[in-house]
Amino acid sequence: MWKMASDGLDTLREVVVRSSQTGRLRVDVAFLAKEKQQLLARLGAQVVRLVDEGKLQVPEALQHICARIEDVDARMNADVGRTHDNAYGAPRGYEPEAGGYGGEDDEEDALLENEVDEHAEISQEKRR
């Protein structure tokens, strides 16, 4: 009986050791894949820079990719300023839907004039 229990424990230990080695290998492969992606991204950025500077000529198929990257960069740069605006095109903190921002003739504005607008206060605190 002791022999069977000992053999069973040995088998269990081997399974655990193999499983942990396999798990470690999976983690190592995942880290290597991430490092490869980062290196490819760095290489790509350097190639695009060299193409933009006219120091590197690439085949036509790659020129289309470089042009697309330039287009995406231009669109990102054009849109980055708008990401800080609210739906009405005003800086964040001015949300008419929160109340108290209607026209001067609006009756509700007269009633809400003395009321505290917690949305605007929170926005002002964030800016400080």
Residue 111 is predicted with a pLDDT of 47
Residue 33 is predicted with a pLDDT of 96
Mean pLDDT of 64-90: 80
Residue 70 is predicted with a pLDDT of 92
Residue 13 is predicted with a pLDDT of 82
Rounded mean pLDDT of the chain?
Answer: 76
Could you tell me which residues come within 8 angstroms of residue 125 by beta carbon, excluding any fewer than 6 positions away? none
Query: Each residue of 8-48: pLDDT tens digit?
Result: 778 888 888 888 888 889 999 999 999 999 999 999 999 99
**Assigned token pair, 33:** 């894949």
Q: Assess whether pLDDT exceeds 70 at residue 113.
A: no
Contact 94, 124 (CB under 8 A): no
Give the pLDDT band of residue 78 (cuts 50, 70, 90): confident
- Predicted TM-score of the model (pTM): 0.49
Lowest mean pLDDT of 37-46, 70-79, 86-95, name the range. Answer: 86-95
Contact 92, 86 (CB under 8 A): yes
Q: Assess whether pLDDT exceeds 60 at residue 96.
A: no
First to last CA, the chain: 75
